[in-house]
A = this chain, B = another copy of it.
């Protein structure tokens, strides 16, 4: 995904159509961007954050407002639309808040519509570039935890398609691979939307990193048989206590690794960290039952009138998390202390 400065359009690959079709979509309309987030054409917490920032950019740049106040109202409206797309990924709100504050500063200092447009565009680009940098730093920090020969289990997709570029958990894997470590990845297929089978396998194949696909239920046997050495996943939201919200099935994977004495790592930029303790603040998005009753809307797999429960995320408690890999270093338990240090909060 990227922002095209020539046309002032936001451009992305529709991940729902991968690996079958590489379809690029471009728009000037922030409502279309909001729909892309909601319908998961764009997914992955860091990618959602970057996209939301560019959504505000589209709203600002293409607004016909001449007066600064009028423009601020339109940006605020776009903020509301973009914030209402998905409730769990913390990066969404973090990126919207950060871009909004940049607009407010320009409004307060210059009180000029074009200055606000410029500030919003600049902030979105900063978030975009920082995300790539953060991923690479995360990769460097995380790769130290990976030994030559390691067999790594991952869940969902946390690569270029889930970020501005490079990836979080997949970024760590990539970094280790580029260091010359001989590694092998087991990718959970990640039902219901199969981001592992569709996106992670596709990305790893492109890089030439050895990957074997498994169903989500096979991770237990994999660890029990000694066929895997560690797990690394991304995160949609992490609280200061080390509670990790991530794609449904992550908690089951964490249990499988821990039950067999293996490390379970989370890789995420500090923008994923919500500065509160506990898990009560974490809203788990529940999506349409049709995602469970079908495979990608293409094949119905059950009887028509059955109920289905479709939480998009689960929560892994801190006692199962061996470490949280961020761009600023690896946090270890007790997370309330180490995560506060990493994000620069002092008691």
- Give 1 or 0 for each of A171-186: 1 = CB within 8 Å of chain B CB: 0000000000000001
Q: Which of B191, B213, B307, B314 contacts A212 (CB 8 A)?
A: B307
The interface residues of chain B lying within 8 Å CB-to-CB of A295 are 295, 299, 301
Q: Are B306 and A218 in contact (CB under 8 A)?
A: no
The interface residues of chain B lying within 8 Å CB-to-CB of A284 are 221
- Give 1 or 0 for each of A102-135: 1 = CB within 8 Å of chain B CB: 0000000000000000000000000000000000
Q: A212-B308, A213-B293, A302-B19 are in contact. Are A314 and B218 (CB under 8 A)?
A: yes
Residue A303 at the chain B interface, CB threshold 8 Å: yes
Q: Are A197 and B302 in contact (CB under 8 A)?
A: yes
The interface residues of chain B lying within 8 Å CB-to-CB of A256 are 251-252, 255
**CA A309 to CA B153, docked complex, whole Å:** 13
- Counted per complex, copies of this chain come to 2
**CA A39 to CA B216, docked complex, whole Å:** 22
**CA A192 to CA B39, docked complex, whole Å:** 25
Q: Which of A162-170, A198-206, A265-273, A332-340 contacts B (4 or more CB under 8 A)?
A: A198-206
Residue A234 at the chain B interface, CB threshold 8 Å: no
Q: Are B192 and A302 in contact (CB under 8 A)?
A: no
7 closest pairs, A vs B, by CB? A217-B249, A220-B251, A221-B314, A191-B215, A197-B302, A255-B255, A213-B308
Task: List residues of A whose CB falls within 8 A of some B CB.
Answer: 19, 186, 188-192, 194, 197-198, 201-202, 205, 210-222, 224, 248-253, 255-256, 259, 284, 289, 292-293, 295-296, 298-299, 301-303, 305-311, 313-315
Sample of 11 A–B contacts (CB below 8 Å) = A188-B217, A191-B216, A194-B301, A197-B301, A212-B306, A212-B309, A213-B302, A213-B308, A215-B310, A220-B251, A221-B315
